[in-house]
């Protein structure tokens, strides 16, 4: 009998007598050609990744965004195509393949599946355009599974003819594992691109007893100016909204000036508000 809720190769299950032909047709659905899953059940992302690997007859290596997701990176759509490094010209919908030769040490195993190594995954994400998206994806990977930048740069030197390698060093420099969402990455890059010093992320704020009470998205401790990105839940969740009111009051009492940014804010308006806060605090610091 086939194990419950796991993808499997139909031909293998039939050969081993784990399932009969009429059962395969009536009780299971094909996720990919030749790969089956119980009918009426929705596979998880990890199960889709395993199914894609089985479709390659266990010869592909899970790569790119799929590998990043398996390493724990968040903020990636469940519906993204499963990426495999494997040469195949007839790729079914839901799978993306590339004929890529991997060197020694560029593969690893996660939950029993072959994936690109952490450094190789970071290298591949950093090569993709646009640059801002590459930084956001690298932020997400670094937040979940910190990697050694030196190892990634070593791959830049090793793979001289690979497309996009020239931007890898820049993406690594701009990346920050303190980002808690792609919009925080966007906000940090906007500030830096506009001439503000690189902000520190996830700034701990302590009370008068020295206990950490809050973390700020990003900002500059020397002048106690922080910039925070508020998602929709800050507005629609009444409990969160009430907590935000108290939090802002306590941060103000601790001397922090907070610039709050939401999705509808124009970039120019955000920069103007941050500049006003910066100027106000800088001038008071000089007095």
- Model confidence pLDDT, tens digit, residues 2-18: 777 899 999 999 999 99
Tell me, what's the pLDDT at 282? 83
Cis amide leading into 130 (omega within 30) = yes
**Where is average pLDDT lowest: 64-78, 152-166, 208-222, 240-254?**
240-254
Residues 161 and 196 in one domain: no
Residue 222: count other Cβ atoms within 10 Å of its Cβ.
11
Residues 78-102: what's their mean pLDDT?
92
Residues 163 and 103 in one domain: yes
Residues 167 and 249 in one domain: no
Residues 156 and 236 in one domain: no
What percent of the chain is predicted at pLDDT more than 70?
96
Q: How confident is the model at residue 24 (pLDDT cuts 50, 70, 90)?
A: very high
pTM value?
0.91
Nearest residue to 170 via CA among 119, 126, 122, 121: 126
Residues 187 and 152 in one domain: no
Strand, coil or helix: 145: coil
Residues 226 and 270 in one domain: yes
CA distance 281 to 181: 27
* Domain edge (last residue) among 150, 174, 198: 174
Share the mean pLDDT of the chain.
Answer: 93
Q: Is residue 87 part of a domain?
A: yes
Instruction: Residue 76: give the domain boundaries.
Output: 44-174
- Whether residue 246 contacts residue 278, with contact meaning beta carbons closer than 8 Å, is answered with no
Residues 250-260: what's their mean pLDDT?
94
* Domain edge (last residue) among 123, 148, 174: 174
Q: How confident is the model at residue 234 (pLDDT cuts 50, 70, 90)?
A: low
Tell me, what's the pLDDT at 286? 42
pLDDT over 90 at 135, yes or no: yes
What percent of the chain is predicted at pLDDT more than 90?
84
Q: Is residue 53 part of a domain?
A: yes
> What total of structural domains would you count in the chain?
2
Residues 91-108: what's their mean pLDDT?
95
Strands 82-85 and 95-98: parallel
Tokens, residue 262 = 């939401």
* Domain edge (last residue) among 174, 207, 242: 174
**Where is average pLDDT lowest: 71-85, 129-143, 167-181?**
71-85
Tokens, residue 257 = 């000036």
pLDDT over 50 at 287, yes or no: no
Tell me, what's the pLDDT at 46? 95
């Amino acid at each position: 009998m086939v194990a419950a809720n796991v993808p499997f190769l139909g031909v293998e299950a039939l050969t081993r007598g784990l399932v009969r032909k009429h059962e395969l047709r009536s009780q299971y659905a094909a996720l990919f050609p030749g790969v089956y899953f119980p009918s009426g059940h929705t596979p998880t992302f990890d199960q889709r990744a395993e199914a894609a690997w089985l479709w390659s007859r266990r010869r592909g290596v899970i790569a790119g965004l799929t590998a990043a997701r398996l390493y724990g990176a968040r903020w990636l759509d469940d519906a993204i195509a499963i990426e495999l490094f494997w040469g195949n010209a007839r790729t079914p919908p839901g799978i993306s393949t590339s004929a890529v030769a991997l060197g020694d040490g560029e593969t690893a195993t996660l939950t029993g599946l072959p994936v690109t190594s952490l450094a190789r995954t970071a290298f591949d994400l950093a090569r993709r355009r646009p640059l801002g998206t590459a930084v956001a994806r690298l932020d997400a990977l670094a937040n979940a599974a910190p990697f050694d930048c030196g190892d990634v740069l070593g791959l830049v030197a090793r793979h001289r003819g690979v497309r996009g390698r020239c931007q890898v060093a820049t993406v690594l420099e701009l990346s920050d594992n303190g980002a808690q969402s792609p919009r925080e990455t966007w906000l940090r890059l906007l500030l830096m691109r506009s001439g503000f010093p690189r902000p520190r992320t996830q700034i701990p704020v302590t009370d008068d007893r020295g206990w950490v009470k809050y973390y700020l998205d990003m900002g500059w401790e020397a002048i106690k100016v922080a910039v925070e990105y508020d998602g929709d839940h800050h507005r629609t969740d009444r409990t969160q909204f009430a907590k935000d009111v108290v939090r802002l009051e306590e941060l103000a009492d601790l001397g922090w000036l907070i610039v709050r940014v939401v999705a509808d804010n124009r970039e120019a308006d955000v920069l103007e508000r941050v500049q006003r806060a910066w100027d106000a605090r800088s001038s008071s610091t000089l007095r």
